[in-house]
Structure 1
């Protein structure tokens, strides 16, 4: 079965995207040990499973970090009405990764090192979180006035920082081989033109999110925002006009997924247009608009990943 790359959700409004590059096929066969489709698929499988794990783990850790903040406040006598409820979740995608594929070539050892750090820090956080929950549920903080809660909070924050660093390193290091692997897989893929066109939208979308993230933290620049809008809207319009005509019954359902992706992208265009108008009036990007864009981004991303899987 041919494997296609899925993309990672934007973290802190900075996207991690993987794009096709000219000449990647040659690079894949000579430098990255991609001798054929089987090796390419193993590289893409690793990418997809790690991306899913990193995305879900990041969400979980953000929730845990919020819990630690509330735990410190409550344990020191502060007013906390209800402690955040965080349900444990099994990381099935991480469990699918048995090893780092040889297709990553000379970067394999470095990827393994960061991947092992990622797993270790993830386990540390989970164990420390369970320890903190037990401490809070038993109200042991009444004995030490919250000292342990504060200590565990710092430990989890340290592990979280290390996990994010390792995760970003893995994604950056697997990118060249994953690009090359997709070039191998897409060579004769029936949906090649639709996948490449849709990925161009995702690359443009990442650029939009990066720009808005910077302007949200700084000053709104209408001209820059409008330029990115025009580029993105043009790609979305062109993609929406493509007639999905792929032979083979096994691809029939992909037409609906392709259309859903285009609808999600068009909705992002609408929200983006509203953001420009609101930001121009306010002189800065309003919180509600940036939150809407982040939510809309995730919708486009999920639609894309469903289409290419």
Structure 2
């Protein structure tokens, strides 16, 4: 089963943090408001880039499975039906918005270099996927599989899979660094904000969901090997959801729309738990998580992430 990771990246609401010293030491007490806002902008620029690329790769990922199956019986006239054309629109930054490729001076020298280097690698790997998929598309269009019994097509699928795996690895490193640089200090900076408890509660929920989905992808074909870990992760999400659902909703007059967003977010978490219980019960009997199960987890996670972003946007 192909793994396409949606990393734990969510919009920052007010301010976040990165120290400006050359050695990345903790300087959260001294961070300026301007630097904090610059980090917010960069964080959100990364999210825009990631979302756009992820949507494209998600379609590619689904198509590869269908193409791989079709190459096993290419003479079937429906062998390559149901393929969706992937589209990608690179995010456009306005004059004042930062670009993911250009981290600002609010970051330390070391962190600026890290993000520049890894975003460059991420974009190059993404472009390699685009190039190879275009080659695969032309291979199918010309029906070249009739000449080589699908050999070139299978080779291209393997190359695209390898690029996507490298993309995932780089994306995870970027996400981990951004979290390390920003998360702890964001909690300090937002300590007096009236919505801070909701923001941190929702972030904790979203992070727990992300951990659950990553565990599910570890060994879906051997469910017993991950069942205990997945159940523990489920229990953590359920506990958090009970705590956060019991919170008093934000004042709708003081914060228009936030009361409804609060309820929608908790409803999304509850829907995730309902679906997860059913899927886990079936997997415990069958011994595996199907590709459809994994896609369901990922879709639900993305809905939760969108609900969070709607709350803070």
- Normalising by the residue count of structure 1, what TM-score does the alignment of the two structures yield? 0.74
Alignment of 1:227-266 (within 5 A): 227-246=232-251, 249=254, 251-266=255-270
Question: Which one is further off, 46-55 or 207-216?
Answer: 207-216
Aligned mates of 1:277, 1:140 — CA distance in 2: 43
Aligned residue number for residue 38 of structure 1: 34
Aligned residue number for residue 273 of structure 1: 277
Aligned mates of 1:150, 1:15 — CA distance in 2: 26
Residues 159 and 144 (structure 1 numbering): CA distance in 2 closer, same or farther, change over 3 Å? same
Residues 123 and 278 (structure 1 numbering): CA distance in 2 closer, same or farther, change over 3 Å? closer
Is 1:53 matched up with 2:57?
no
Contact 2:283/2:289, CA 8 A, preserved across alignment: yes
Residues 120 and 29 (structure 1 numbering): CA distance in 2 closer, same or farther, change over 3 Å? closer
Question: Which one is further off, 230-239 or 271-280?
Answer: 271-280
Contact 2:18/2:36, CA 8 A, preserved across alignment: no
Residues 13 and 234 (structure 1 numbering): CA distance in 2 closer, same or farther, change over 3 Å? farther
Q: Taking CA–CA contacts closer than 8 Å with sequence separation of 6 or more, which of the two structures ends up with the larger relative contact order?
A: 1
Residues 285 and 100 (structure 1 numbering): CA distance in 2 closer, same or farther, change over 3 Å? same
Alignment of 1:130-279 (within 5 A): 130-134=134-138, 136-137=140-141, 139=142, 141=144, 145=148, 149=153, 152-153=156-157, 155-180=159-184, 182-183=186-187, 185-214=189-218, 216-220=220-224, 225-246=230-251, 249=254, 251-279=255-283
Please state which structure has a larger fraction of its residues in helix. Answer: 1
- Normalising by the residue count of structure 2, what TM-score does the alignment of the two structures yield? 0.73
Residues 93 and 267 (structure 1 numbering): CA distance in 2 closer, same or farther, change over 3 Å? farther
Aligned mates of 2:59, 2:272 — CA distance in 1: 26
Aligned mates of 2:63, 2:282 — CA distance in 1: 33
Match of 1:284 among 283, 287, 307: 287
C-alpha displacement at 1:262, in angstroms? 0.6
Question: Which one is further off, 154-163 or 185-194?
Answer: 154-163
Aligned mates of 2:5, 2:161 — CA distance in 1: 20
Aligned mates of 1:215, 1:142 — CA distance in 2: 32
Contact 1:191/1:246, CA 8 A, preserved across alignment: no
Aligned residue number for residue 82 of structure 1: 81
CA-atom RMSD, angstroms? Answer: 3.9
Is 1:17 matched up with 2:8?
yes
Residues 232 and 160 (structure 1 numbering): CA distance in 2 closer, same or farther, change over 3 Å? closer
Aligned mates of 1:77, 1:215 — CA distance in 2: 30
Contact 2:126/2:167, CA 8 A, preserved across alignment: yes
Contact 1:15/1:210, CA 8 A, preserved across alignment: no
Gaps of 5+ in 2: 11-15
C-alpha displacement at 1:267, in angstroms? 1.5
Aligned mates of 1:271, 1:75 — CA distance in 2: 33
